[in-house]
Amino acid sequence: MADKDIYSDLDQLGQQSAAPTSPDEAKLERVQNPHPDTLYLTRFVCPEFTSLCPVTGQPDFAHLVIDYAPSNWLVESKSLKLFLTSFRNHGSFHEDCTLKVGKEIASLLSPRWLRISGYWYPRGGIPIDVFWQTGDVPDGLYVPDTGVAPYRGRG
């Protein structure tokens, strides 16, 4: 059984938590990596990410893939889910949303490496895909393809 004291500083894990109303209100949390000396990849996939167009207020939809090679910290997954949910009523362009998610996680964790891939569904007939990473992929790190096909419409 895990030592509950090591999780005592977490505000959301194991607690009922309301969804934050904006990314600025959301609180990403981290836990210690039990394997900080091992090079490995962690992947989070959010196939139903939503935000709002800052101009029209209409909803925008994306498929996010977040890959990172942890160092001393792991992102606590419940806090990540709440953070991603906080964008639902947030008006911002695709590039800003994608980079905000990636940079917030990178800032919190200081991972060996992080990449975020944002596959946005068409707005005005044009899909916008946004990619960002913190640097070169570390030697020896297995990074599988994101598995997300480019947008093809009905073709």
Bridge partners, 129 (sequence order): 119
pTM above 0.75, yes or no: yes
Distances (CA, A) of 79 to 70, 117, 120, 137, 143: 17, 20, 23, 26, 24
pLDDT of residue 83: 97
What confidence tens digit (pLDDT) does each residue in 86-135 have? 999 999 999 999 999 999 999 999 999 999 999 999 988 889 999 999 99
Q: What is the mean pLDDT of residues 73-95?
A: 96
User: Domains in the chain: how many in total?
Assistant: 1
Report if residue 148 sits inside a domain.
no
Give the chain's mean pLDDT.
91
Q: What is the mean pLDDT of residues 73-91?
A: 96
Neighbours of 109 (CB within 10 A): 21
The CATH code of the domain that includes 70 is 3.30.1130.10
Report if residue 153 sits inside a domain.
no
53 is catalytic: yes
Report if residue 21 sits inside a domain.
no
What confidence tens digit (pLDDT) does each residue in 142-155 have? 999 999 988 887 76
pLDDT of residue 18: 79
112 or 3: whose pLDDT is higher?
A: 112
* H-type alpha helices, 24-109: 77-85, 94-109
Greatest mean pLDDT among 8-12, 22-26, 54-58, 138-142: 138-142
Return the residue matching tokens 């096909």: 149
Report if residue 75 sits inside a domain.
yes
The catalytically annotated residue of 11, 37, 60, 97 is 60
60 is catalytic: yes
Report if residue 102 sits inside a domain.
yes
The catalytically annotated residue of 5, 9, 11, 53 is 53
What confidence tens digit (pLDDT) does each residue in 28-61 have? 999 999 999 999 999 999 999 999 999 999 999 9
* Residues 12-51 as b or e (16 or more Cβ within 10 Å = b): beeeeeeebeebeebebbbbebeeeeeeebbebebeebbb
Closest CA to 106 of 66, 47, 154, 55: 66
Report if residue 5 sits inside a domain.
no
* Enclosing domain of residue 52: 28-133
Q: What is the DSSP letter of 108?
A: H
